[in-house]
Structure 1
């Protein structure tokens, strides 16, 4: 059983507890949260509550997440945007708003559901909920992912990630005008002790995290940047850009409440390159910015 402890901040006071918790973790559906509340697995200040309870400032919420039942992932036909595929690997352009893999309470509509309908041969190293998944990007981050179709390919791609030889370049729009053209953020990332579902720069129980960035375009109060990952920690770009004072536009977890309308962080995994596990040929792919991302950029350009 996993235990999650939260402390309600001013931002979430007077918000329904089921809405707050389902927005807190993208892998928790509102239906699943409501079930936990009804079963008494959620307590506020050591008391059970109803699903419509309004959170109060400094409420201590404790969630006892039960061990999941064995789950079957169902294949679902989807119109996947596949950039490359052979017997070993597949490269797919994930749309914004799609979760990469299933989780308890969120078993359909994920990229894995679509991949299982598209091909039967996915590596099993990550188990039944994450077949073929070598790395992931957040639900509201769009862009390229590499998928392993067998265990040999999976092991090779993971080794490349560990050795930092995979090319991963992201486009992002951040708050503030960054004065310097280039930069490197070398700051370890770990779980936030006050908010276990968030990451933060910390020296406690953390891992090395390095992000390189350069400015593509400046606006009065925003900057369009490209970020290159040297490591791949959870929420790395989002945490690092916040850490240096330039949080991502639209980021509901790490950004300001007043932001541009883009429904989630303005972050796109646009370039992905790696050595093919079998042929050893270097492959690189580029996916254009999504339409909504381009619309925000054009809005900023027109407002100059």
Structure 2
């Protein structure tokens, strides 16, 4: 969290791409040219997917061009496994989908917001296909811990889709509307300072060995504490 993945209009330098490009440039300089050709180009820097700046958790970086190409195919075909943990908002007795179902799927094409061009929104027409499958892991007085699995990988997909069904990710300052959240929990949310979204599972076939790889990551300590605060509220 806190590290931008790709350079953009507001941040050209301090990004993961820049750091990786510098790393690979140094590695290329230290080895024979025939070996160096196998390293990722500066423009790609080994990245095959991304996380939002304030989302924590797992990412994969390819160390060679062949590995990058093999992983890119898996992500493009949606065969890579990706699961996220999200703490989402829900008020008691509210008529929200997440209060009446233990699992579901959000299918809504995503496009740039017509007025707020830095934001994404569910498009009435056009846009790019986006599907998020979710299931409730734990219910709390003013929220739920959910697992979200992606069939597609669009910008801000989980955040936009969960907000679309009335349960925004806690701490999401862009898409979240937290009217009805008690003052004490609002303070905890502000103290947390980012969206409570964590890349928890990443699985793929190793592009060179063909071996199935699967990695799991627990949420960072501050997110675990926030979950406990929401879970114990009113107890």
Instruction: Give the secondary structure class of the aligned counterpart of 1:299.
Output: helix
Aligned to 1:87: none
Partners of 1:267 and 1:156 in 2: CA distance: 27
Aligned to 1:202: 123
Aligned to 1:173: 87
1:228 to 149, 164, 176: 149
Partners of 1:105 and 1:200 in 2: CA distance: 21
For the Cα contact (< 8 Å) 1:144–1:269, is it kept in 2? yes
Report the more deviating stretch, 250-259 or 144-153: 250-259
User: Cα RMSD (Å) of the superposition?
Assistant: 1.9
Query: Are positions 1:271 and 2:185 aligned together?
Result: no
2:6 to 76, 86, 101: 101
Instruction: Identify unmatched segments of 5+ residues in structure 1.
Output: 1-95
Partners of 1:113 and 1:199 in 2: CA distance: 25
Per the TM alignment, residue 256 of structure 1 is displaced from its structure 2 partner at its CA by 2.0
Partners of 2:3 and 2:21 in 1: CA distance: 15
Higher relative contact order (CA 8 A, sep 6+): 2
Please give the per-residue CA displacement for 1:34-88, whole angstroms capped at 9, x wherever unaligned.
xxxxxxxxxxxxxxxxxxxxxxxxxxxxxxxxxxxxxxxxxxxxxxxxxxxxxxx
Partners of 2:79 and 2:106 in 1: CA distance: 18
The 5-angstrom pairing of residues 291-302 of structure 1 reads 291-302=221-232
For the Cα contact (< 8 Å) 1:190–1:204, is it kept in 2? no
Partners of 1:301 and 1:247 in 2: CA distance: 17
The 5-angstrom pairing of residues 233-244 of structure 1 reads 233-244=154-165
For the Cα contact (< 8 Å) 1:102–1:108, is it kept in 2? yes
For the Cα contact (< 8 Å) 2:85–2:146, is it kept in 1? yes
Q: TM-score, normalised by structure 1?
A: 0.63
Partners of 1:104 and 1:251 in 2: CA distance: 21
Per the TM alignment, residue 200 of structure 1 is displaced from its structure 2 partner at its CA by 0.8
Larger fraction in strand: 1
Partners of 1:210 and 1:253 in 2: CA distance: 20
Partners of 1:254 and 1:105 in 2: CA distance: 19
Aligned to 2:169: 248
For the Cα contact (< 8 Å) 2:138–2:144, is it kept in 1? yes
The 5-angstrom pairing of residues 178-193 of structure 1 reads 178-179=98-99, 180-193=101-114
Larger fraction in helix: 2
Instruction: Give the secondary structure class of the aligned counterpart of 1:145.
Output: coil
Please give the per-residue CA displacement for 1:112-138, whole angstroms capped at 9, x wherever unaligned.
3443455536522xx53x411111010
Q: TM-score, normalised by structure 2?
A: 0.81
Aligned to 1:62: none
